[in-house]
Amino acid sequence: MATHPQLHGPFALGTFADGDGAPFPGLVAESRVLDLRGRPALGSPTTTRDLLERWDEALPILERLAEGVKAATGTKDAWQPVDSLRTLAPVEPRQLLQSGANYRQHVIDLAIAHRPAEDTRPVEQARAEIGAMMDRRAAEDQPYVFIGLPSSITGPYDDVVLPHWCTKPDWELELAAVIGAPAYRVTPEEALGHVAAYTIANDLTARELVFRRDMPEIGTDWLRCKNAPGFTPLGPYLVPAAFVENPADLRVTLKLNGETMQDESTKDMIFDVARMVSYASQTTRLLPGDVILTGSPAGNGMHWGRFLTDGDVMDGTITGLGAQRTRCVKEAS
């Protein structure tokens, strides 16, 4: 069931379906949705990515349309209640980029959890030294970014199927930046000008498969641990970046069966959104609709020693970006 916390700004964008009908891009305002298909002023979009392709032109038109939400009744522009529609993932990106080890407290917790037996330092000393290392990394180092598969994306209220082979499915709620203007080799100072919107992602992980135990020299196996179908619930909406005053001051909260597991500010990021986008663009030509996940704060299942099981319900929120609710369903072997 959808919940409707306050959004930044007067409107957002989403992708919806009426029953079993075709998905369509919709303008969301005051818990109502306006179908944007067939509007020449917007280029007759059929997807939200069409709007992102011409974002600078589309944004002022969307603003004018949103102003009509109170007056539109019984016309061809009638707004539909959002709860009468199925809310899908808000965008289908061509590229999905993910990042790891980007929240200071989270990295410290992981490093402590994975300490080798020969590390005999007292815990507080180890935490302080690892924290100092994270501070040096923020000043001198680069983000850690890897590639995800768009086929892992699912809607913000869809069930998440836990594969039968996955023994330690874990949650990672994250702020996601969505590209508008193409970006290639942009500076951190230029980078936010290429971000059209923000949304919520839950970057699920098969924790037992992160490292290749059969080939330790190879390192991590991001394909298998993160890219099962439905392992990236996305949305509910694209909130225009123009309405998000400071992406480095948002609260990321995940509750599991009503119990708070993650609750951290994006202030704890080691690399902010601008540095993340800039870094990715040095190698990859970022395209409209591409999604960049910015890492997850402390409090995932690895920290709590508790992983997802059949019937678990995750509620995820980020300040001003809406909320997700996903239920876990174990796949039969």
Distance CA 252, CA 263 (A): 6
Res 139: pLDDT: 80
Q: Which two tokens stand for residue 246?
A: 């400071």
What pLDDT was estimated at residue 169?
97
Phi-psi region of 101 (alpha: psi -120 to 50; beta: other; left: phi over 0): left
pLDDT at res. 273: 97
User: Which whole-number Å values give the CA distances from 117 to 19, 89, 91, 122, in the listed order?
Assistant: 55, 43, 45, 12
pLDDT for 124: 87
Q: Going residue by residue through the chain (333 aa), what tens digit of pLDDT does each one get?
A: 555 678 999 999 999 999 878 999 999 999 999 999 999 999 999 999 999 999 999 999 999 999 988 776 545 558 999 999 999 999 999 999 999 889 988 888 877 877 888 888 988 888 888 888 888 887 878 999 999 999 999 999 999 999 999 999 999 999 999 999 999 999 999 999 999 999 999 999 999 989 888 888 888 899 999 999 999 999 999 999 999 999 999 999 999 999 999 999 999 999 999 999 999 999 999 999 999 999 999 999 988 999 999 999 999 999 999 999 999 999 987
The confidence score (pLDDT) of residue 280 equals 97
Please state the three-class secondary structure of the chain as a single string.
CCCCCCCCCCCEEEEEECCCCCCEEEEEECCEEEECCCCHHHCCCCCHHHHHHCHHHHHHHHHHHHHCCCCCCCCCCCCEEHHHCEEECCCCCCCEEEEECCEHHHHHHHHHHCCCCCCCCCHHHHHHHHHHHHHHHHHHCCCEEEEECHHHEECCCCCEEECCCCCCEECCEEEEEEECCCECCCCHHHHHHHEEEEEEEECCEEHHHCECCCCCCCCECHHHHHCCCCCEEECCCEEEHHHCCCCCCCEEEEEECCEEEEEEEHHHECCCHHHHHHHHHHHCCECCCCEEECCCCCCCHHHHCCCCCCCCEEEEEECCCCEEEEEEEECCC
Q: Which pLDDT does position 133 carry in this prediction?
A: 82
pTM of the full structure:
0.92
Residue 200: strand pairing partners:
175
Whether 204 and 158 have beta carbons less than 8 Å apart is answered as: no
Backbone φ and ψ of 159, nearest 5°: -65, 145
Predicted local distance difference test score (pLDDT) of residue 44? 96
- Tell me what pLDDT residue 72 has: 61
